[in-house]
Amino acid sequence: MAIIDVYDRMIVDYHIGLSCLAQDAITTLKGALLRRQLY
């Protein structure tokens, strides 16, 4: 799962694993927001 900024097409954060649970999605989203200093 990757979170991509559609404005500059940069991958902000990603999750690599055999499964993607809701907690993985939440953690990845929080990481993306922290990288962009929005959280």
With a pLDDT cut of 90, the percent of the chain lying above it is: 97
Say whether pLDDT at 39 is over 90: no
Q: Considering the entire predicted model, what is its pTM? A: 0.84
Residue pLDDT, tens place only, 2-18: 999 999 999 999 999 99
Domain boundaries, position 25: 2-36
Kindly state the average pLDDT of the residues 20-26: 96
Site of tokens 């999605």: 25
Question: Which amino acid, 33?
Answer: L
Q: Which of 3, 23, 2 is nearest to 38 (CA)?
A: 3
Element (H, E) at 14: strand 10-14
Q: Which neighbouring-strand residues pair with 13? A: 3
What total of structural domains would you count in the chain?
1
Our measurement of the distance from residue 22's CA atom to the centroid of its chain's CA atoms, rounded to an integer in Å, reads: 12
